[in-house]
Structure 1
Amino acid sequence: MRSSALLKQIAPLVSRTWYRLSSVTAHSELLLHTDPVLPVIDFSSFASKNDTNDYPRDIIEKLANACEHVGFFYAIGHGISNELLQRTLSVTRQLFNLDSKIKNQYASRSFVNSPKVGNLLGGLGRGYQSVGENVTNSLRDRHEGFDLYRELDTNHPARLQFNKKNSSNKNLPDYREMAIGWNPWPKEFPLFKETINEYKSEMLQAGARVMRGIALSLNLPLNHFESTFNDSFWVIRCIRYPSVYPEDMKSPEYGHGCGEHADYGWLTFVNQDLDSRNCLHVRTNDTSKATYVSADPIVVEEQIALTCNIGDILAFITKNKYRSTRHCVVNPVKPARERVSTPFFFEPNIDAKLRINDTTPECYYGEYLINKVRNNFNYDNNQTQ
Structure 2
Amino acid sequence: MRLSALLKPVGSIFKHTCRRYLNAAVQPGLALNTDPVLPIIDFSSFANQNETNDFYPRDVIEKLANACEHVGFFYAIGHGVPNELLLRTLSITRQLFDLDDTIKNQYASRLFTDPSKIGHTRGGFGRGYQSLGENVTNTKRDRHEGFDIYRELERDHPLRLQYDNTNVINQTLPDYRELAIGWNPWPKELPLFKETIAEYTTAMLQAGERVMRGIALSLGLPVDFFQSTFNDSFWVIRCIRYPSVDASESKSPEYGHGCGEHSDYGWLTFVNQDLDSRNCLHVRTNDTSNATYVSADPIVVEEQIALTCNIGDIISFITKNKYRSTRHCVVSPAKPARSRVSTPFFFEPNLDVKLQINENASQCYYGEYLINKVRTNFNYYNDEAK
Superposition map of 1:20-31 within 5 A = 24-25=27-28, 29-31=29-31
Q: Deviation at 1:35? A: 7.8
TM superposition shift of 1:119? 9.8
Confirm or deny: 8 A CA contact 1:75 1:305 kept in the other structure: yes
CA distance in 2, matches of 1:36, 1:193: 38
What SS does the corresponding residue of 2:335 show, helix, strand or coil?
Answer: coil
Paired position in structure 1 for 2:208: 207
Cα distance, 1:316 vs structure 2: 0.3
Structure 2 gap segments, 5+ residues each:
1-17
Secondary structure of the residue aligned to 2:270 is strand
CA drift of 1:276 comes to 0.3
Q: Which amino acid aligns with 1:30?
A: L
Tell whether 2:45 aligns with 1:42. no
User: Secondary structure of 2:107's match?
Assistant: coil
The residue number in structure 2 matching 1:98 is: 99
Instruction: State the distance in 2 between where 1:382 and 1:276 align.
Output: 34
Q: CA deviation at 1:165?
A: 2.1
Report what 1:160 is aligned to: 161
Q: After superposition, give the CA deviation of every residue in 1:293-348 in whole Å (9 maximum; x if it has no partner).
A: 00000000000000000100111011110000000000000000100000000000
Separation in structure 2 between the aligned mates of residue 191 and residue 116 of structure 1, nearest angstrom: 27
CA distance in 2, matches of 1:142, 1:170: 38
- Alpha-carbon contact 1:19-1:33 (below 8 Å) kept: no
SS at match of 1:32: coil
Q: What code does the residue aligned with 2:108 have?
A: A
Moved more, 237-246 or 374-383: 374-383
Q: Which residue number corresponds to residue 8 of structure 1? A: none
Match of 2:268 in 1: 267
Match of 1:3 in 2: none
Distance in 2 (alpha carbons) for counterparts of 1:384 and 1:98: 20
Counterpart in the other structure of 2:12: none
Q: Which has the higher contact order (CA 8 A, sep 6+)?
A: 2
CA–CA distance in structure 2, aligned partners of residues 105 and 288 of structure 1: 43
1:94–1:20 distance in 2 versus 1, CA, 3 Å = closer
- State the Cα RMSD in Å: 2.2
CA offsets 1:122-166 (integer angstroms, 9 cap, x no match): 100000000000000000000000000000011111111111222
In structure 1, the residue matched to 2:249 is: 248
Asked if residue 79 in structure 1 is aligned to residue 80 in structure 2, the reply is: yes
Q: Is the 8 A contact 1:243 1:334 kept in 2?
A: yes
TM-score (norm. length: structure 1): 0.91
TM-score w.r.t. structure 2 length? 0.91
My pick for the range that moved more, 166-175 or 102-111, is 166-175
Q: Report how many aligned residue pairs link the two structures.
A: 366
Unpaired stretches in structure 1, ≥5 consecutive residues:
1-13
Contact kept? 1:115, 1:177, Cα under 8 Å:
no
Q: Deviations over 1:243-290 (max 9, x none)?
A: 011121010000000000001111000000000000000001111111
How far residue 380 of structure 1 moved from its aligned partner, in angstroms, is 3.4
- 1:104 match: secondary structure: helix
Alignment map for 1:315-334 (pairs within 5 Å)? 315-334=316-335
Residue in structure 2 matched with residue 357 of structure 1 by the alignment = 358
Alignment partners' CA distance in 2, 1:337 and 1:220: 45
Q: 1:383 to 1:268 in 2, by over 3 A?
A: farther
Q: 1:286 corresponds to which residue?
A: 287
CA–CA separation in structure 2 for the residues paired with 1:160 and 1:253: 42
Q: Distance in 2 between matches of 1:194 and 1:263?
A: 27
**Deviation per CA, 1:172-210, whole angstroms, max 9, x where unpaired?**
000001100000000110000000000000000000010
User: 1:49 deviation in Å?
Assistant: 1.5
Note closer, same or farther for the CA distance 1:110–1:310 as it changes in structure 2 (3 Å cut): same
| Alignment check: 8 A CA contact 2:123 2:183 kept | yes
Match of residue 345 from structure 1: 346
Shift, 1:102, TM fit: 0.4
What is the aligned partner in structure 1 of residue 5 from structure 2? none
Q: Which amino acid aligns with 2:27?
A: V
The alpha-carbon distance between structure 1 residues 252 and 54, as it changes in their structure 2 partners (threshold 3 A), is same
Letter in 1 for 2:129: Y
Query: Would you say the 8 A contact 1:34–1:278 is kept in 2?
Result: no
Deviation at 1:20, TM superposition (A): 12
